[in-house]
Structure 1
Amino acid sequence: MNAPLSQLNVQPVVLDPARLPEYALRTTLRMFAALFASLLFTFVTGTIAARSRKAEMIIAPALDILQSVPILGFLTFTVTFFMGLFPGSELGVEGAAIFAIFTSQAWNMAFSFYQSLRTLPGDLDEVAKGFGLSSWQKFLRLELPFAIPALVWNTMMSMSGGWFFVVASEAITVGKTTVALPGIGSYLALAISVQNTRAVIWAVLAMGVVILLYDQLLFRPVVAWADKFRFEQTASQDRPESWFYDLLNRTRLLRRISIRWPVRALPRIPGPRLPATTPLDPRLASAFDILWVGLVIAVTLWGAWSVIGYVRQTISLHDALVVVGLAVLTLLRVVILIAIASVIWVPIAVWIGLRPAWSEKVQPIAQFLAAFPANVLFPIAVGLIVAWRLDPNIWLSPLMILGTQWYILFNVIAGAAAIPNDLKEAAAMFHVKRWQWWRDVVLPAVFPYYVTGALTASGGSWNASIVAEVASWGDHHLEAAGLGAYIAKATAAGDYPKVALGIVVMSVFVILLNRTLWRPMYGYAERRLRLT
């Protein structure tokens, strides 16, 4: 990061397989740096939004907007910012790449943590109040442990989501600015641009090895460790296992170097004052709410007017209506694909989540499939569409859901794995089977997790439309009519007013979809389907 920016031109990315270990290490370091930032962001925003209704009124819509902004939309503005912040240094473009990966990881983790805190069992909350726990102690001893099982699975999904967009984050092209950071993403982008199929295969193999390594050495042990935080009255017979976790437990040196004392001391450390809801006079609370809503509306209108003023300098009303029409086409693709993915993956995820032994086998495979970049399938997709003369508007659509359907799978697996063992035993004792078992036990239990997965999958599909609605391989260039293709072309051309218009329209559509569909489902899950 301390190297001068000119070194990227002196030592460009090359398609030598011998360089892949170095590129893989660089990419992995960027992804874990972004993951660390995503965890900090998740703990802060998720806790504040869950505890404060007024903060929730800003944080929840802000998360809706941020998850709808495509990664190319962030890169359009952040590359210049980071390069200006660290002029002439690789640190600027490294910061831009890490921030771009952060934007593909943070939102679903924040939504998962927020959903877990909002569905916290009421009796546990009463016990925390009865013991007089401070906000800091309540967070460390109750809220964080309760949210860990779902957060672990969403963290794995975030890593895979980062791989899905790693090509865009490392091989940056915005207008006249082109930067290729050494990494698997830029290696893969170069291989696709020169149609080197062998190099593409090498990149995919390297990505698979890296995913397998950090799955076995990090995520699988964390899943086994997080099982102790499941909310249940009786012990489960089937527990997730990890050979590396067992090895660490049997290692004498690690037992001697005990880390338990700092962990136990954490709740006693004076922590930050986190917002807590306190009862107010109803009339005073109503007045505060009116002022707060008015402030939010005023800021939103001011921001919208500023963007409109910037965009209308070069774009007419007709152009804006065309973009809205393109957004409707992308919306139809998103809704149809989410429905298809739900029908396919919810039953499979429930089956996996209820069987920890199978979960151990499926986990690395699912991570690899979730990380599989859509760009790798361009040669196959473009070749089949051209050979069979298919309609790109239909047959490029599956590429949108390729990397986002796994949000549903991972979240529902987490939900099924978190079903209390005593609830399963009660269902077995009363002979609840078949459809009644699905209707009265499983679907209500996994519904809050499904909503989180579907919401983030929906936002991810809008993001993926930029990659999926425009596909190229060699001399063949295919394009599906939609908002993603519009933003991709505007970004490549460096047309910032069109990029801004596309991002604003995408954000509006995502917010409307979330507010009319996913948010009411969140509310229903919080009121009717929480464990109490």
Structure 2
Amino acid sequence: MSFRTSSPAPRVTSRFAGRLARLSWVDAVVAAAVLVLFYVVLQVGHGTTVRFSTDQSIKVDTDPAQLPYDAARSLLRMFIALAASLVFTFVYALAAAKSRRLERILIPALDILQSVPVLGFLTVAVSGFIALFPGSMLGLECASIFAIFTSQAWNMTFGFYHSLTSLPRELDELSRSFRFTRWMRFWKVELPSGMISLVWNGMLSFGGGWFFLVASEAISVNNKDYALPGVGSYAGAAITDGDLGKIGWAILTMAVMVIGVNFVFWRPLTAWAEKFKNEQSEAGEIQRSVVLDFLRRSSWPQLLGKAFRPAGRALSRAGRLFGTDDRPLGVDAKRRRTGDITFTVVAGGLILWGLFDLGRYLHDQTGLGVFGEPLLLGLATLARVVVLVAAATVIWVPIGVRIGFSPRLTRIAQPVVQVLASFPANFLFPLAVWFFLKTGLSINIGGILLMALGAQWYILFNTIAGAMSIPSDLREAMDDLGVRGWQRWKRLILPGIFPAYVTGGITASGGAWNASIVAEVVTFGGTTLTATGLGAYIAKATASGDFPHLLAGVAVMSLYVVGLNRLLWRRLYRLADTRFAL
């Protein structure tokens, strides 16, 4: 007697065919949209690998018919930089939050990195990537993406790091009692706890990428001009030519891009992130998104979830190889002291060696007196930064709380704020030059307004995220107790948003220093207005290829930013961790 065993392959195939047969027209629309997206990415990506020589002159095509292609190229760079920023955020923030010793190095380093202007990164990145991809446009593309990355990553990293350090103790103890692996702890506890802040800071970082788009796509380094197809380079060329009509087309294209990305990408994300809100009662009104509601009607998310479930299980099993997250809360004091001394000696030695080497290079090139001028100019820029942060706090904190408490108002305000936060200051140079000349307003004062275009939104967005994170049941309890006015702000609102505000303040301060690069030198046509400040000093050194003065300017700017963070923002961070963590 023989037995026939049926192969499981036909059963799996028939089961999959049955699921496909149940797909609706919504699934067909989603699948078609994804295929079209892949096709556009592939078509646009072809232009990144064409031949290129550093000796050839690249002329930007300012025909308005070229703008759709330019917009697609800019969007591709922005999303690649966003993906790189997200990976960097997870790795860097986790390392800083999990290791007390690494935290002493990584967080001050993050202060320095966010203070280094985009132009400072470009000076090194262009030469490095062109050497890495000789004869290919891919080198310039990587340099541009890297520049956009440097305008996005720091804010997201600060926000996620703070969410990790202010994680509620109850969640920490719960993960230990269930013996979660580090992989499970990250996905089940740490990432959900910081999701709202991560999404809103990601949205703001994306806007920061738009703000520096002109500097990232139209690059001037060592007296050489490089340009890539994109809305930023298009606008830069139109501004140089003084063509108001083409500038208008660039502004319109930028507005369409920002609103479109907000509708298709950020709005669904912010509505989806509501599920991670830490509260015990359901909110009376929640955020909605047409795109998210449409995707929830589709079967593709469920099918993809089932398809990737084995991979998730494999990663969980692999995470167990590193052990569970059962590290003791207390450690041996003597052992910790020995480790601290060893780490301090090694890290301090490397830092001192780097500073000595930098000082020796500058001494040989120009002499150490090169630091004198940027130190004095830095005081002028510091005054503008202080005025900007103080004014932004007074104006935007009440508005951010109002938006964050009202999902209906959030739906209306989010695209408007996103457009404003994403608007490059360079696009306003024609209006700024005309206004400054007509009114006689000095750019030394007017530059604050241009700096605000790239810095004030950090405070607004983080305030909105902080207000949204306040549990609805706490707000309802305040209503039941009749707590109104200043008492409500004192007892609920200010403590609730304070951690998020500190994150916004520290990134707004760093963003203001960075924005000074494009705000202290305003050019339109044949007219150039230059403010007295460190930003103008660095912009001039970058354009002329004066590497020693550029290094001195960046070093001084880093000194000011780190000093301000150490004296003010870090103390507020510790206060937020000890007094105002939820």
TM interval, shorter chain, is over 0.9
Describe how 1:395-434 pairs up with structure 2 within 5 A. 395-434=446-485
1:374 to 425, 428, 431: 425
State how far apart, in whole Å, the 2-side matches of 1:255 and 1:477 are: 53
Corresponding residue for residue 491 of structure 2: 440
SS class of match (2:279): coil
Task: Say whether residues 1:176 and 2:223 are aligned partners.
Answer: yes
Candidates 226, 243, 249, aligned match of 1:202 = 249
What residue is the counterpart of 2:130 in the other structure? Answer: 83
Give the AA of the match of 1:460.
G
Aligned match for 1:55, one of 69, 85, 102:
102
Paired AA for residue 21 in structure 1:
P
Write out per-residue CA displacement over residues 92-111 of structure 1, whole angstroms, 9 at most, x where no aligned residue. Answer: 11010000000000000000
Structure 1 Cα separation of the partners of residues 186 and 295 of structure 2? 27
**Does the CA contact (< 8 Å) of 1:121 and 1:530 recur in 2?**
yes
State the SS of the aligned residue for 2:365.
coil
Q: For residues 389 and 369 of structure 2, what CA distance do their matches in structure 1 show?
A: 30
- Identity over the aligned pairs, expressed in percent? 47
CA distance in 2, matches of 1:11, 1:75: 18
1:257 alignment counterpart: 303
Q: Distance in 1 between matches of 2:146 and 2:100?
A: 28
CA distance in 2, matches of 1:219, 1:37: 17
Aligned to 1:92: 139
What is the CA-CA distance between 1:7 and the residue it aligns to? 11
* Equivalent in the alignment of 1:460: 511
Residue aligning to 2:572? 521
SS at match of 1:248: helix
Within 5 Å, which residues of 2 pair with 1:336-415? Answer: 336-415=387-466
Q: Does 1:502 align with 2:549?
A: no
Partner of residue 165, structure 1: 212
Tell me which amino acid in the other structure corresponds to 1:254. Answer: W
Q: Secondary structure at the match of 1:312?
A: helix
Structure 1: 5+ residue stretches without partners: none
- Bigger CA drift: 431-440 or 388-397? 388-397
Q: 2:269, 2:429 → 1: CA distance?
A: 35
Match of residue 287 from structure 1: 338
Deviates more, 1:230-239 or 1:306-315: 306-315
- Give the TM-score taking structure 1 as reference length: 0.96
**What's the counterpart of residue 270 of structure 1?**
318
**Residues 153 and 410 of structure 1 are in contact (CA less than 8 Å); yes or no, is this contact kept in structure 2?**
yes
Residue 471 of structure 1 aligns to a residue whose secondary structure is strand
* Distance in 2 (alpha carbons) for counterparts of 1:512 and 1:158: 24
Name the CA distance, whole Å, in 2 between partners of 1:204 and 1:255.
36
State the structure with more CA Rg. Answer: 2
CA contact (8 A) 2:404 2:465 kept: yes
Q: 1:45 corresponds to which residue?
A: 92
Q: 8 Å contact 2:88–2:157 — kept in the other structure?
A: yes
Matching residue of 1:308: 359
Shift of 1:366: 0.9
Amino acid of the residue matched to residue 303 of structure 2?
Answer: I
| Partner Cα separation in structure 2 for residue 10 and residue 390 of structure 1 | 38
Work out which of the residue numbers 142, 145, 169 in structure 2 matches 1:122.
169
1:64 is displaced (CA, Å) by 0.6
| Structure 2 gaps, min length 5 | 1-47
From the superposition, tell whether residues 273 and 220 of structure 1 become closer, same or farther in structure 2 (CA, over 3 Å): farther
Cα deviation, residue 296, structure 1 = 2.4
**Pick aligned residue for 1:145 from 178, 181, 192:** 192
In structure 1, give the amino acid aligned to 2:308: P
* Structure 1 letter corresponding to 2:98: R
SS in 2 for 1:396: helix
Q: Report the CA distance shift for 1:452/1:277 in structure 2 as closer, same or farther (over 3 A).
A: farther
Aligned to 2:52: 5
Measure, in 2, the Cα distance between the counterparts of 1:269 and 1:4: 46
Quick one: distance in 1 between partners of 2:364 and 2:215?
29
Aligned-residue Cα RMSD (Å) equals 1.8
Q: Which moved more, 1:287-296 or 1:154-163?
A: 287-296
**Residues 298 and 6 (structure 1), Cα distance of their counterparts in 2 relative to 1, 3 Å cut:** closer
SS at match of 1:402: helix
| Higher mean displacement: 317-326 or 139-148 | 317-326
SS at match of 2:398: helix
Question: How far is 1:290 from its partner?
Answer: 2.1
- Tell me how far apart the structure 2 counterparts of residues 256 and 61 of structure 1 sit (CA, whole Å): 43
Shift of 1:11: 7.2
Size of the aligned set, in residue pairs, is: 530
Deviation at 1:287, TM superposition (A): 2.0
Task: Give the distance between the partners of 2:501 and 2:137, measured in 1 at CA.
Answer: 41
**Which residue does 1:215 correspond to in 2?**
262
Q: Structure 1's 260 and 63: CA in aligned 2 closer, same or farther, altered over 3 A?
A: farther
Call closer, same or farther: CA 1:444–1:2 in 2, change over 3 Å: same
State the partner residue of 1:511: 562
Moved over 6 A (4+): none
**Letter in structure 1 aligned against 2:499:** P
Shift of 1:257: 2.6
Whether contact under 8 Å (1:8, 1:181) holds in the other structure is no
